[in-house]
Chain A
Amino acid sequence: MGMTMTQKILAAHARLEKVEPGQLIMADLDLILGNDVTAPVAIREFDKIGTEWVYDKAKVAIVPDHFTPNKDIKSAEQCKLMREFAHHQEIENYFEIGQMGIEHALIPEKGLAVPGDVIIGADSHTCTYGALGAFSTGVGSTDMAAGMASGQGWFKIPEAIRFNLKGKLQPWVSGKDVILHIIGMIGVDGALYQSMEFGGEGIRNLTMDDRFTMANMAIEAGAKNGIFEVDEQTLDYVKEHSTKEFKVYEPDKGARYTRVIDIDISEIRPTIAFPHLPDNTRTIDEVGEIVIDQVVIGSCTNGRIEDLRSAARVLKGKKIHSEVRTIIFPATQKIYLQAMREGLLEIFVEAGAAVSTPTCGPCLGGHMGILARGERAVATTNRNFVGRMGHPESEVYLASPAVAAASAITGRISSPEEVVK
Chain B
Amino acid sequence: MIQGKVIKYGHNVDTDVIIPARYLNTSDPEELAKHCMEDLDKTFVDRVRKGDIMAAGRNFGSGSSREHAPIALKASGISCVVAETFARIFYRNSINIGLPILECAAAAQDISEGDQVQVDVNTGVITNLTKGKTYQAEPFPAFMQEIINADGLISYVRERKK
Chain A residues engaging chain B, CB cutoff 8 angstroms: 24, 37-38, 40-41, 44-45, 48-51, 66-67, 71-72, 74-75, 78, 121-124, 126, 138-143, 145-146, 149-150, 154, 188-189, 192-193, 219, 222, 224, 277, 364-366, 370, 383, 385-388, 392
A144 to chain B, nearest CB (A): 9
Contacts of A123 in B (CB 8 A): 64-65
Does A146 contact B59, Cβ atoms closer than 8 Å? no
Output the residue of A41, A74, A385 with the most chain B CB within 10 A. Answer: A385
Contacts of B59 in A (CB 8 A): 188-189, 192, 222
Assembled-state Cα–Cα distance A397/B77 (Å): 35
**A78-B25, A188-B12 in contact; A222/B68 too (CB < 8 A)?**
no
Assembled-state Cα–Cα distance A143/B157 (Å): 10
B9 to chain A, nearest CB (A): 12
Does A222 contact B87, Cβ atoms closer than 8 Å? yes
Tell me whether B106 is interfacial, beta carbon within 8 Å: no
Tell me whether B76 is interfacial, beta carbon within 8 Å: no
Contacts of A41 in B (CB 8 A): 27, 67-68, 71
Does B20 contact A142, Cβ atoms closer than 8 Å? no
A31 to chain B, nearest CB (A): 16
Output the residue of B40, B65, B71 with the most chain A CB within 10 A. Answer: B65
Assembled-state Cα–Cα distance A142/B93 (Å): 7
Assembled-state Cα–Cα distance A74/B24 (Å): 9
Assembled-state Cα–Cα distance A72/B14 (Å): 25
- Smallest CB gap from B17: residue in A: A386
**A45-B154, A49-B157, A124-B64 in contact; A143/B96 too (CB < 8 A)?**
yes
Does A140 contact B96, Cβ atoms closer than 8 Å? yes
Contacts of A78 in B (CB 8 A): 25-27
B94 to chain A, nearest CB (A): 9
**A138-B89, A388-B16 in contact; A365/B22 too (CB < 8 A)?**
yes
Tell me whether B132 is interfacial, beta carbon within 8 Å: no
